[in-house]
Structure 1
Amino acid sequence: MSFSTQDSDEVLSEMNVTPLVDVMLVLLVVFIVTAPLMTNAIKVNLPKTDAVAPAEKKDPLVVSVDQDGKFYLAKNQLEPELLEASLKQAKAADSEVRVQLQADTAVNYGQVAKAMAAIERSGITKIAVMTSR
């Protein structure tokens, strides 16, 4: 800590942080004391209910593209032009339909892109692209 003398016209450039530290410590103590009180502010007796079975999850619709570029919908081979129409029918039957896209590693990317475009045009928004570890 430096002391200034009466003779010197220099300005003391050090800031005194002790009051700032005091204020911060007081605020910390206040928050530590009041935080537990805020979580238990209102006591409520919640009603009891019977256990409800979770909604049955439907299996996703599987779209596959094999190494020859052939399209399959749930293990049934389809022509590429019919894939979109079949997916639209599935979407009409169940608005929450989910699709898993499986493609062979040897397949041309263009075939995978066609399958993804058909899924998108059919209006299905829940899609998962499957991979193996």
Structure 2
Amino acid sequence: MPRKRAFSAPAGPAFDAPLSDLNITPLIDVMLVLLVMMILTLPTVLHKVPIDLPQGKAPPSETVTHPLVLARDGTVTLDGVGLSDAGMPARFKALDADPKALLVMRTDPEARYARFDAVLAEVKRAGITRLGFAGNEAMVE
């Protein structure tokens, strides 16, 4: 007696013809991938960085520049006169009170960063907001 197969497709012209239906599974997969990519990239495209621009009156037309120089050995001079650590707060407060004063800081490239940070902290404690940095010409491209 011949053995029967567990599964056999019926023979005939209807089953030998190629499938004419479109397989949409890959199409759905591609559409889902595109949808996920769009969802992930839209927040970065629409992201805005808030910038707090100064509002108010224009700076004084005539400014008086006060050079603050930090030397390689850590000594500080303001307007060409040596400045001690104890005298910094009083001199910086006087500069902050003058509306035409502009403090321009020039630091030797070989100066210690800790010293630069300490001097800049004194400037900040005095409340000086009109501050510029000189000597960065080498950094400009």
1:29-82 per-position Cα deviation (integer Å, ceiling 9, x unaligned)? xxxxxxxxxxxxxxxxxxxxxxxxxx6512321111001100111110111221
2:129 corresponds in structure 1 to: 125
| Contact 1:97–1:124 (8 Å) recurs in 2 | no
Mark the runs of 5 or more structure 1 residues left unpaired by the alignment: 1-54
2:92 corresponds in structure 1 to: 87
Structure-2 change in CA distance of 1:114 and 1:121 (3 Å) = same
| Contact 2:63–2:100 (8 Å) recurs in 1 | no
Which letter maps to 2:124? E
Give percent identity, aligned residues only. Answer: 19
Query: Which of structure 1's runs of 4+ aligned residues deviate more than 3 A?
Result: none
Higher Cα Rg, which structure: 2
Mark the runs of 5 or more structure 2 residues left unpaired by the alignment: 1-59
Which letter maps to 1:95? P
Which letter maps to 1:104? D
1:1-133 matches, cutoff 5 A: 56-92=61-97, 94-130=98-134, 131-133=136-138
- Aligned partners of 2:104, 2:130: CA distance in 1, in Å? 9
Superposed CA RMSD: 1.6
| Contact 1:73–1:83 (8 Å) recurs in 2 | no
Which letter maps to 1:115? V
| Contact 2:88–2:122 (8 Å) recurs in 1 | yes
